Structure 1
């Protein structure tokens, strides 16, 4: 490939007109760079303009080395232009599974302070004393990521099927959920790390492996020195509220199924549109909540022996 062909290929990529094979080629150029810094969005246009000047200079200067070496140099320039103009932080975040520092908010609590934080998706975090949390002002379109850098925090996460929520911790452990409530205890000075689930389901992992999947009233304790994780059943000390205000029965069921890791079946599809206005707490059992809901709509229900599947009928 000549230098002119390489330049044309880069321009096609920037204009989003490149074929999959051409895109792969440009991204291979990008991979040759050893990235050590991330530029801000405000700097991209200026740096990109400067890089295009360098690109033109590299294209028209007299050859000082072999054709192969010069093409490699051009490839690095093209990759740099690609980084600051097109890919920006996106490719960097894919190759580095940490939270981008841009637009981050950091909250630190005092030694006796508790602080409630509401995130951009409606999720809430209750920070305990001497805790440190970093989070973006606005979450990305396809993921939600925050970092608990020290201390204890209780998370009540809004359920969004297409946008998983990840908590990165100072212990090098990640907690991934779709929407649930749980407590995390993570201190740099302690060898113990702990996650306790109040509602829903979470997956806990470190860089090497999955440490366990937890459901309601389960707690995972991880010994960082021994690299050992243990899961035990513990009745939650914290509770969350379920408030429904004219909510359809199928939406109520969806919330309960996720919160309790159960399955609820409506034997008559016409029941799905019934409206429910009521408040419940996670300290109540699924049977207790279903009994109240069915009473409101003059319905009945039954459950399986393992209390994991329920049927609602007239």
Structure 2
């Protein structure tokens, strides 16, 4: 959110056009300002700026409701004071390029018209949408990978590491656990609905009450936070993921394909696992098409077993 947009919201407050949620945000931050008497260190200014922007963005998702009348003098006093805090926080926030490291943790916040591409320490990629907030460690632990999407939408392309599962925690209290896959999450505090859509691979979605569902390619889970109910449905592909192999072993290629398409690939000869492969593919291609290309490179053959999701590669 820009300074102009923040001013516009405060003007709504002055004109008595702000809905109750917007009023509450402005008044709470005025109370914070009074407590600090506008004497703030730079790091606190930055934090206030960040939190203010997130809450103002979230307020925009609320439907306007009838409001109670508050004296204009109060409106003016609060609006003028909070604008000072916004301006201070905005300047520090801009200087920090919307990135706030805290120890091992990094926090990224995007503007309302901004997107960011973030590469994590394990090689996983996050495409962070507008008005979003993501927290992640500079380096993951040796036995797990955990990040938190605090607000907004993000597309995740997760590097496959079987011994280090990847978990996305959200402010909605819902967790997404994967080993290696790509998916999209939509999680706004002010919205009643939470969504997870899988582009490739498989993810498990859960909350404090237990598992909500397991999703595979082209499936979406929608969770209604107001009633605590989840539904799973089919969708058209949201995006296509490119994956390339440069001298990778056939075993590594198979592992990637299995997690991308949620399939099983068997080798009838263990010595085939060491064959080297250099090629590029896209998730828009079917697994049969990719296997046909790979087998052609190595003069191999493949067929489908009784289970349509299981393939056999042989000489």
Residue 156 of structure 1 aligns with which residue?
Answer: 157
Quick one: distance in 2 between partners of 1:103 and 1:272?
38
State the SS of the aligned residue for 2:189.
coil
**Which structure exhibits the higher relative contact order, with contacts defined as CA atoms closer than 8 Å and separated by 6 or more residues?**
2
Matched, 1:228 2:238: no
Alignment of 1:83-122 (within 5 A): 102-122=103-123
Quick one: distance in 2 between partners of 1:294 and 1:259?
18
Residue 200 of structure 1 aligns with which residue?
Answer: 201
Quick one: distance in 1 between partners of 2:104 and 2:268?
48
Report the Cα offset of residue 241 of structure 1.
1.1
Report the Cα offset of residue 235 of structure 1.
2.6
Matched, 1:180 2:181: yes
Is the 8 Å Cα contact of residues 159 and 178 (structure 1) preserved in structure 2?
yes
Residue 304 of structure 2 aligns with which residue?
Answer: 303
State the SS of the aligned residue for 2:143.
coil
Quick one: distance in 2 between partners of 1:164 and 1:246?
25
Per-residue CA shift, 1:101-131, capped at 9, x if unaligned?
Answer: 7421110111111100011111110001111
State the SS of the aligned residue for 2:122.
coil
Quick one: distance in 2 between partners of 1:108 and 1:246?
38
Quick one: distance in 2 between partners of 1:259 and 1:285?
11
Structure 2 segments unaligned to the other structure (5+ residues): 1-101
Quick one: distance in 2 between partners of 1:295 and 1:289?
10
Residue 136 of structure 1 aligns with which residue?
Answer: 137
Report the Cα offset of residue 305 of structure 1.
5.2
Residue 313 of structure 1 aligns with which residue?
Answer: 314
State the SS of the aligned residue for 2:153.
strand
State the SS of the aligned residue for 1:280.
strand
Report the Cα offset of residue 283 of structure 1.
1.2
State the SS of the aligned residue for 1:139.
coil
Matched, 1:263 2:264: yes
Report the Cα offset of residue 239 of structure 1.
1.3
Per-residue CA shift, 1:215-243, capped at 9, x if unaligned?
Answer: 11111010000111011122322111120
Matched, 1:293 2:294: yes
Is the 8 Å Cα contact of residues 196 and 236 (structure 1) preserved in structure 2?
no
Residue 167 of structure 1 aligns with which residue?
Answer: 168
Is the 8 Å Cα contact of residues 196 and 219 (structure 1) preserved in structure 2?
yes
Larger radius of gyration between Structure 1 and Structure 2 = 1
Of stretches 265-274 and 168-177 in structure 1, the one that deviates more from structure 2 is 265-274
Per-residue CA shift, 1:65-93, capped at 9, x if unaligned?
Answer: xxxxxxxxxxxxxxxxxxxxxxxxxxxxx
State the SS of the aligned residue for 2:257.
helix
Report the Cα offset of residue 263 of structure 1.
0.9
Quick one: distance in 2 between partners of 1:143 and 1:265?
28
Report the Cα offset of residue 184 of structure 1.
0.2
Per-residue CA shift, 1:245-297, capped at 9, x if unaligned?
Answer: 11111111111111111111111222211111100011111101001111111
Per-residue CA shift, 1:189-214, capped at 9, x if unaligned?
Answer: 11010001111111101111110011
Quick one: distance in 2 between partners of 1:267 and 1:236?
33
- Supply the RMSD in Å over aligned alpha carbons: 1.2
State the SS of the aligned residue for 1:122.
coil
Aligned residues: 214
State the SS of the aligned residue for 1:110.
coil
Structure 1 segments unaligned to the other structure (5+ residues): 1-100
Quick one: distance in 1 between partners of 2:311 and 2:163?
26
